[in-house]
Amino acid sequence: MTERTLYEWFADAASRYPEETALEAGGETLTYRELAGAAERVAAAVAAACGPRPRRVGLAAERIPLTYAGYLAALRLGATVVPLNPVFPPERNETIARSAGVDAVITGEEPSGPLREGPWAIVRGDALREGAGGPAGAPPVADDPEPVAYILFTSGSTGAPKGVPIEHRNVSPYLAYNIERYEAGPGCRFSQTFDLTFDPSVFDMFVAWGSGAALVVPAKDEVGDPAGFVRDRGITHWFSVPSVVSLARRMRRLPPGSMPDLRWSLFAGEQLTTRQAAAWHEAAPASTLENLYGPTELTITCTGHRLPSDPAAWPATRNGTVPIGEVYPSLESVILDEDGRPAEEGELCVRGVQRFPGYFNPADDEGRFVSYEPGGGPAVPYDGSAPLTDRHWYRTGDRVERGPDGGLVHLGRLDGQVKIHGYRVELGEIEAVLRGHRAVEDAVALVAGEGDAADLRVAYTGDEVPARELREHAGRSLPWYMVPRAFTRMHGFPLNPNGKVDRRRIEALAGA
């Protein structure tokens, strides 16, 4: 298949389906023709502000038409998109913008503090107006775009954000595969629950825009009522983190049969429990439900498990989560043990067309890749002394095992393993046992203290349960050193800006 840029995916659909709905956001509806025109006007404004060929463009990730037109405008100019989250501290956004070397920042409102004072041009919402680009209009679509489509900045171990560049060649085969897999096309309506600083948003936008479907952006208050949003907005393809299911259940907004017309239900970003999947299936019984997995470095998602329509046929895993399934056909995977040898349980490593080219700062590559060839010796960690090639495997840092059907089961992060009284303890195993209590909806295991003073605590949601009862429940399945000492009930787990459970805030609230 010929590789296409993200903008070419959109432009091809716009030429074929100009009057189909492309975007619903901020109370406005735009057809493909209208969205293409809006992107052209914003591109003209960017070109007028900083020249016709910016290398990188920062984008304030607001849920308004300007944001989506701005994303396309940057790509139209051949630039790399660098999403910035308005809810992040201004200093963090400034750090990201400076690290990425953006030439312009597109924002609906006046940026705050240091972001306003940077060396980049500011392009505001009035760029969407007819004639805003001036008589010359936008420059021609770039015929030699930057190879990197977008850069997302994740948390780094040093405390500084770590840039993950994803190239058009990584995304193009991913889009082709997923458009076919999910039968996307005109008439389909995709949810867009993810902030643009979280890479599943690229799936939402470009699986929709690459096929002639509509992207439907909920307001913040609509995400907590998925059934109402799906029903009222005619959503056919839902994609979110599993935490949305737990939140909707707590708010009593996920009644059985409430989403009868939903066709596809996709979840990623954190472990999907069987209990969460069952609750969603009851609400959307005609929907095909899939659990997806993939770090940002492997281009959005790289594995998938499709649950049978009959819950009685769902696989049972030892940690009560839905398997993450098989890697996509264009990728290779291997499970490596601590010695770098293939195993049935260990760290998942992946290579192939979706693997990113390496971190924005090459110093971050060290230790994140390995050299390994099946049938050869043990894997050798990458030390940066030689060029990084496509043959290197990306180390995901996730511990997996082969399930009964050969598919992968996600067991947790390798850094989720701690030592208590000299014993190795997997926090995910404790969480799985606590979720097995009839009154517990979800659980997060925490470590308080260090060394010999370290002990285990659990924060949980659900009904109030005496601590003694929870300890006895845990003790029936876990050895003594894995039984938590204290339990904190929460009405709901705090979420980070990407919608994932925020473990650091839970630790602070639970006193861990």
Compute the average pLDDT of residues 31-38. 97
Model pLDDT for residues 54-73, shown as the tens digit of each residue = 999 999 999 999 999 999 99
Confidence of residue 2 (pLDDT cuts 50, 70, 90): very low
Written in H, E and C, the secondary structure of 106-149 is: ECCCCCCHHHHCCCCEEECHHHHCCCCCCCCCCCCCCCCCCCEE
Backbone angles phi, psi at 166, to 5 degrees: -120, 125
Q: Are strands 380-381 and 148-154 parallel, antiparallel or unpaired?
A: unpaired
Give the number of other Cβ atoms within 10 Å of residue 434's Cβ: 26
Decide if pLDDT at 174 tops 90.
yes
Compute the average pLDDT of residues 207-233. 94
Decide if pLDDT at 159 tops 60.
no
What is the Cα 270 distance to its own chain's centre? 9
pLDDT of 413 reads 83
Length of the chain: 512
Between vectors from CA 358 to CA 269 and to CA 77, what angle results, nearest 5°?
85
Model pLDDT for residues 121-131, shown as the tens digit of each residue = 999 988 777 65
Residue type for position 365: D
Cα→Cα distances 119→81, 97, 247, 364, 433, Å: 17, 10, 41, 26, 53
Query: How would DSSP label each residue in 456-499?
Result: EEEEEEES---HHHHHHHHHTTS-GGGS-SEEEE-SS--B-TTS
pLDDT of 44 reads 94
Nearest to 345 by CA among 240, 225, 428: 428
Do 311 and 396 meet the contact criterion of CB atoms below 8 Å apart? Answer: no
Give Rg (Cα) of the chain: 23
Q: Are strands 28-31 and 21-25 parallel, antiparallel or unpaired?
A: antiparallel
Instruction: Provide, rounded to the nearest whole percent, the portion of the chain with pLDDT above 90.
Output: 73
Q: Give the DSSP H or E segment for 24.
A: strand 21-25
Give the number of other Cβ atoms within 10 Å of residue 135's Cβ: 6
Q: Who contacts 505 (Cβ-Cβ below 8 Å, separation ≥6)?
A: 494, 496
Between vectors from CA 110 to CA 104 and to CA 113, what angle results, nearest 5°?
85
Model pLDDT for residues 312-322, shown as the tens digit of each residue = 999 999 889 99
pLDDT of 110 reads 81
Token pair in block for residue 493: 């787990």
d(CA 25, CA 202): 16
Model pLDDT for residues 352-394, shown as the tens digit of each residue = 999 999 999 999 999 999 999 999 899 999 999 999 999 999 9
Compute the average pLDDT of residues 456-465. 94
Do 59 and 197 meet the contact criterion of CB atoms below 8 Å apart? Answer: no
Q: Which residues pair with 29 in a beta bridge?
A: 24
| Residue whose entry in the numeric block shows the structure tokens 């003209």 | 44
Compute the average pLDDT of residues 209-222. 94
pLDDT of 421 reads 65
Token pair in block for residue 22: 């492309």
Model pLDDT for residues 422-454, shown as the tens digit of each residue = 566 778 889 989 999 999 999 999 988 765 567
pLDDT of 176 reads 97
d(CA 47, CA 26): 26
Q: How many helices (H) and strands (E) does the chain have?
A: 14, 26
pLDDT of 45 reads 94
| Residue whose entry in the numeric block shows the structure tokens 């894997």 | 379
pLDDT of 257 reads 97
Nearest to 134 by CA among 36, 46, 58: 46
Bigger pLDDT: 405 vs 472 = 472
pLDDT of 423 reads 66
d(CA 114, CA 408): 45
Please, what is the angle between helix 6-16 and helix 168-181, to 10°?
40
Pseudo-torsion of CA 206, 208, 209, 215, nearest 10°?
A: -110
- The SS3 call for residue 168 is helix
Q: Who contacts 221 (Cβ-Cβ below 8 Å, separation ≥6)?
A: none
Backbone angles phi, psi at 98, to 5 degrees: -70, -40
Which domains can be identified in the chain, with CATH numbers?
1-183 (3.40.50.12780), 331-413 (2.30.38.10), 421-510 (3.30.300.30)
Token pair in block for residue 234: 């005619």
Compute the average pLDDT of residues 279-299. 97
90-94, 156-160, 232-236 — which one is most confidently predicted on average?
A: 232-236
pTM comes to: 0.86
Pseudo-torsion of CA 299, 302, 306, 312, nearest 10°?
A: -120
Decide if pLDDT at 499 tops 90.
no
Alpha helical stretches, state H, 32-89 = 32-50, 65-76
Decide if pLDDT at 134 tops 70.
no
Nearest to 56 by CA among 83, 22, 94, 90: 83
Decide if pLDDT at 86 tops 90.
no
pLDDT of 132 reads 52
End-to-end CA distance of the chain: 52
Do 123 and 100 meet the contact criterion of CB atoms below 8 Å apart? Answer: no
d(CA 354, CA 173): 8
| Residue whose entry in the numeric block shows the structure tokens 């977008």 | 150
Question: Whole-number mean pLDDT of the chain?
Answer: 91
Token pair in block for residue 503: 């473990």
Token pair in block for residue 35: 């969205």
pLDDT of 451 reads 58
Nearest to 412 by CA among 286, 320, 305, 278: 320
pLDDT of 155 reads 65
Q: Which residues pair with 461 in a beta bridge?
A: 442
pLDDT of 450 reads 65
Confidence of residue 308 (pLDDT cuts 50, 70, 90): very high
pLDDT of 289 reads 98
